[in-house]
Every structure is written in structure tokens, then in C-alpha cells.
Structure 1
């Protein structure tokens, strides 16, 4: 099992991404997921890059043990925003077997995520095989539409 800490640049980078999104400026494919904190109950917002695969919208946690993933898992629902548009989603965590094909697709669709994973030491080359091998170590979620907000 991987035992990595988030890179030092992650929090400052996330703050910039959140500020830009809050201004209503979409930043490429990035979106913001807001869920209640599992301990405080206060809204916690995290930028991420979901992608469409086999008709579903998926996101892969950037590193094992990510706080946002634990909050998403506990909440089960959240608000997914891009620019000024938001929608309520149900958050479904995939089993390792369900996650394998999604993880294989991830490097094809989310090159920025591959770069992050390489800089963080999660993968070496960023191949589909490397990502598939992370099934059961990296959280993978599917966002199902709930209601419009």
C-alpha cells in the first residue's frame, strides 16, 4: 500500500483554483466538489478533474488517504461546480474491481493528473498499467446526478 503525503504545492495550488472558480471563471476541465467535512460538518471544497467514461462521470483521488476523499465517502452527496454552474451529485465509491477500467482510462483523459501523480511519486511513467495497478489504493468515485441546484 502506498504511504505518501500530499505534495507541498497542493494546498496553495488548490486555493488559487478555488479562487478562480469562485470568480466564475472555468479552468479547463477542472471542477470543484463541495461536501460537508466529516468532523466539522462545515463545507469543504476541493478542485478536481472528473472525466467521462462509459457514460459516467468519474474522479480519481490524487493520492492515497486524501482528506477530500474521506469527506466525500462519508457525505455520499455533494455539490459539483464549474464556474458559476453547480449541481447536486450522489458520490459512489467504486470497489477495486470496478475501479480498474476507470484507472486504466485516467491517463488518457486526465494528463494533468498523470503529471501530478508522477511529481508525487505515485507512478513512475504514468501508463494505463501503472494506474490500473493502483486499484484498491487510490479512491475512485462516480458522480451520479441528483438534483439541480
Structure 2
């Protein structure tokens, strides 16, 4: 499989975990920076939402798609942005996708914060990977900077 086409689907535990985190986030409780990302569907135009881990790194905010080229990634590429929601608060955002050569510090920070949660989406990648290990997976990890 081409690493840029990586799309890891959620299993039983992940579905339960995402539903729980989503419920809490929709009710205003953020766990380690979680938000609900809402993006218009690229063909339907309807709002689609997913719980995400919002990363702040060196003063900028990022969305990291640990599962690869998921539906929200495909939708946000077309829409150019969406909304971040926490409880009743909604923030409209626009995003810029980072090229592979700019991803390493972001993905490294993401793994330091959420490696316990996302390492299982990568074969043979430990919860605390080295930079060399991360460089190999960067093409399959979409990263978006949230523009001010």
C-alpha cells in the first residue's frame, strides 16, 4: 500500500472511545485539547463532524490526521476549512495543508502528546517514535495548519 493512501478505520474500542470523547466535547468538556471538527461534505454539502485532537505547537494550531486520508481529510481539502466546536462555542477556521518536509516537528509533538492513543494506527511504530521512524510515515499523515 502506498503510504500516502493510508486510511485506518476505527475498530470496536476506537468507536466507543470516539463516541465518548465526542459526547464530552459536545458538552463543553475538552480532554487534552479535543474539539469537534465540522466540515461540509465534498459532494453532499452537509456538515460532517468528528472528534479531533487540536495541537498547539510554537504558537500555531494544527489538525493532524493520524488515521491517514480519512473522509474529514478529503472534505477539508475541498472545503478549505470548517468549524471547531467545544460545547456551544463554534469557531470558523481555514486551513493550509503542510508539505511532508514541514511535518516532522508537528507530528513529533503530536506523538509526544497523544502517542498512547494514536500509535496503534501505525504498524511497527512505538508510542514514542524517533524522528527517523516518524520521517518514514510522514507521507501518510496529513497535517493542516489552522490559519489566523
The range that moved more, 34-43 or 97-106, is 97-106
Name the counterpart of 1:26: 30
Please, what TM-score do these two structures have when normalized by structure 2?
A: 0.82
How far is the alpha carbon of 1:120 from its aligned partner? 2.4
How far is the alpha carbon of 1:116 from its aligned partner? 3.1
Is 2:58 the counterpart of 1:54?
A: yes
How far is the alpha carbon of 1:73 from its aligned partner? 1.1
Identify which of 136, 139, 147 aligns with 1:136.
139
Name the counterpart of 1:7: 10
Task: Please identify runs of 4+ aligned residues in structure 1 that moved more than 4 A.
Answer: none
How far is the alpha carbon of 1:128 from its aligned partner? 4.0
Question: How far apart, in 2, do the equivalents of 1:17 and 1:70 lie?
Answer: 22
Question: How far apart, in 2, do the equivalents of 1:16 and 1:91 lie?
Answer: 26
- SS where residue 133 of structure 1 aligns? helix
For residues 104-143 of structure 1, the aligned pairs below 5 Å read 104-108=108-112, 110-111=113-114, 114-126=115-127, 127-129=129-131, 130-143=133-146
Name the counterpart of 2:43: 39
Q: How many residues align?
A: 142
- SS where residue 48 of structure 1 aligns? strand
Please, what TM-score do these two structures have when normalized by structure 1?
A: 0.82
Greater helix content: 2
Unaligned runs of 5+ in 1: none
Q: CA RMSD in A?
A: 2.0
For residues 40-91 of structure 1, the C-alpha deviation after alignment (integer angstroms, 9 at most, x for no partner) is 1110111111111122101210212211111111111211122332211111
Unaligned runs of 5+ in 2: none
